[in-house]
Amino acid sequence: MSAEFEPAVSSLPAAANPPADPLRWLRYGAMLEATTLLLLVAVAVPAKHLFGLPMATAIMGPVHGMAFLIYIWLVTSHASERAWSASTVIRLIAGAFIPLAGFVNERWLRRKMTSESTDSKGAL
């Protein structure tokens, strides 16, 4: 009696949703970076200087630094994949240095994603 190998059949259902939008992670990165910058500038720095809590910036500074690096990586990787113009890349990166501008960039990216999906549906 020889036992034959039978491949296991996956019981996982097929994905019911269409593929995720390619700009989703960049949008999330913009929101994360903007939120951590806002917390750093509006909460941690005043807490350090007004209330003598240097721990606030000791915690929030590295958190924002990591969020900033992730965001810059997302911008550069999307820019190279999509051959974005220099002005688009500069706009997205400059927004990382201005409090609340990351939220403006997120809305801009959402509109860009919506227009791209509308254009691709029309091409079918």
Q: Which residue has the higher pLDDT, 102 or 21?
A: 102
The count of structural domains within the chain is 1
Q: Is position 83 within any domain? A: yes
Residue 73: Cβ within 10 Å count: 11
Q: What is the pTM of this model?
A: 0.77
**What is the pLDDT averaged over residues 83-98?**
94
Q: Is position 49 within any domain? A: yes
Q: Is position 80 within any domain? A: yes
Q: Is position 10 within any domain? A: no
Residue 94: Cβ within 10 Å count: 11
Instruction: Give percent above pLDDT 90 in the chain.
Output: 69
Q: Determine the angle formed by the axes of helices 86-94 and 101-123, rounding to 10 degrees.
A: 140
Q: Is position 70 within any domain? A: yes
Residue 124 banded pLDDT, cuts 50, 70, 90? very low
SS3 7: coil
Own/partner pairs, 52-58, CB within 8 angstroms, 24+ separation: none
Q: Is position 96 within any domain? A: yes
**What is the pLDDT averaged over residues 68-79?**
96
Domain span at residue 101? 24-118
* Dist CA 31 CA 92 (whole Å): 12
52 phi-psi bin (left φ>0, alpha ψ -120 to 50, beta other): left
